[in-house]
């Protein structure tokens, strides 16, 4: 991770807010901190002690030197605001699991959100869906995996039923968080999220996740995707005739997106 970016955000946050880098994506750098932006720092807890239970995520969109400064500022503001708004709206939807938005500074490209998940045992890494499925590779069809994947599908169903789309639905963007001893899937990274009534956007979301599972867990992917779709369908089936019709339309488009994907990969 570039030291320049770390210095940029460290200067902005000041030394009162210690940060630990955890990821650098194409657009944003993600850090954890144990400091809440609006609560006084607990004198008993060293600000450098990241082992405390309460952790927060700071997602920072650094300046891009190759962009014209005014375009860079406008894009940073637009994307930070877009992600913050969608997170705030999604956390109002009953049953939908997304990290809570704590604070946002759109001009400085900074979002403060709830930290979710944990390290999996036996060095399987962070508890996103991808690593969780690897962890279960020796017993891939166990009850725990089935229940979790049905819940993942249910979360996507809720998102789509409420006319939101994720835009980058990979297995790394589904984080498993323990609630009362059970894994609950949370959807993260709404940087490309949007409101949408279009079956195309929903079909593409489903296709992206299906491909992600096929590419990393190919041997078990058929069953895994079937369970995800079971959870997805259950949301629409609970909504009576209207739900059934909407689901039919989405599934039809999903199949078309798949066909387009197949054609593209055959043509290279």
The token pair that represents 67 in the structure block: 């962009």
Taking CB under 6 A as the rule, does residue 53 contact ligand ATP? no
Taking CB under 6 A as the rule, does residue 134 contact ligand ATP? no
Phi first, then psi, for residue 147 (nearest 5°) are -60, -45
Distances (CA, A) of 152 to 81, 129, 199: 26, 9, 19
CB nearest ligand ATP: which residue? 25
Give the helix/strand (H/E) hosting 263.
helix 240-267
Q: Please identify which residue in 18, 91, 120, 126 interacts with ligand ATP, judged by CB under 6 A.
A: 126
Residue 264: Cβ within 10 Å count: 9
Q: Give the whole-angstrom CA distance, residue 168 versus residue 211.
A: 12
Which of these, 137, 111, 108, 110, lies nearest to 122 by C-alpha position? 137
CB of 30 to ligand ATP, least distance (A): 4
Nearer to ligand ATP, 103 or 243 (CB): 103
Taking CB under 6 A as the rule, does residue 246 contact ligand ATP? no
Q: Is 201 a catalytic residue?
A: no
Which of these, 157, 166, 224, 163, lies nearest to 191 by C-alpha position? 166
β pairing state of 164-165 and 125-126: unpaired
Bridge-partner residues for 104, per DSSP? Answer: 111
CB of 238 to ligand ATP, least distance (A): 28
Nearer to ligand ATP, 128 or 247 (CB): 128
CB of 113 to ligand ATP, least distance (A): 5
Q: Please identify which residue in 13, 19, 30, 133 interacts with ligand ATP, judged by CB under 6 A.
A: 30
CB of 116 to ligand ATP, least distance (A): 4
Q: How many residues bind ligand ATP (CB under 6 A)?
A: 23
Contacts of 255 (CB under 8 A, 6+ apart): none
Give residues 173-202 in contact with ligand ATP (rule: CB under 6 A). 173, 175, 188-189, 191
Q: Which of 105, 168, 238, 249 is catalytic?
A: 168
Judged on CB neighbours under 10 Å (0-12, 13-18, 19+), 48 is exposed
CB of 190 to ligand ATP, least distance (A): 8
Q: Please identify which residue in 26, 43, 266, 267 interacts with ligand ATP, judged by CB under 6 A.
A: 26
Would you tell me which residues interact with ligand ATP (CB under 6 A)? 22-23, 25-28, 30, 57, 59, 99, 113-117, 126, 168, 172-173, 175, 188-189, 191
Which residues are catalytic, by number? 168
């Amino acid at each position: 991770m570039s030291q320049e970016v770390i210095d940029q955000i460290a200067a902005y946050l000041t030394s009162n807010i210690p940060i630990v880098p955890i990821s650098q994506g194409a657009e944003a750098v993600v850090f954890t901190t144990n400091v809440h932006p609006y609560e006084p720092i607990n004198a008993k807890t060293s600000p450098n002690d990241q082992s405390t239970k309460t952790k927060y995520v700071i997602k920072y969109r650094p300046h891009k030197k190759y962009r014209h400064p005014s375009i860079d500022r406008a894009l940073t503001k637009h994307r930070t605001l877009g992600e913050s708004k969608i997170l705030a709206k999604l956390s109002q939807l009953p049953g939908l699991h997304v990290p809570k938005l704590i604070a946002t500074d759109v001009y400085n490209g900074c979002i403060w959100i709830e930290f979710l998940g944990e390290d999996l045992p036996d060095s399987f890494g962070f508890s996103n869906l991808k690593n969780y499925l690897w962890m279960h590779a020796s017993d891939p069809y166990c009850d725990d995996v089935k229940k979790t994947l049905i819940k993942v599908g249910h979360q996507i169903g809720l998102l789509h039923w409420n006319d939101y789309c994720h835009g980058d639905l990979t297995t790394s963007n589904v984080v498993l968080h323990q609630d009362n001893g059970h894994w609950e899937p949370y959807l993260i990274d709404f940087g490309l999220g949007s409101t949408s009534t279009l079956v195309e956007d929903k079909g593409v979301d489903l296709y992206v996740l299906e491909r992600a599972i096929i590419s990393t867990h190919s041997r078990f992917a058929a069953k895994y995707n079937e369970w995800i779709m079971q959870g997805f369908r259950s949301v629409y089936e609970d909504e009576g005739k209207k739900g059934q019709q909407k689901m039919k339309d989405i599934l039809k488009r999903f199949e078309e997106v798949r066909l387009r994907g197949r054609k593209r990969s055959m043509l290279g």
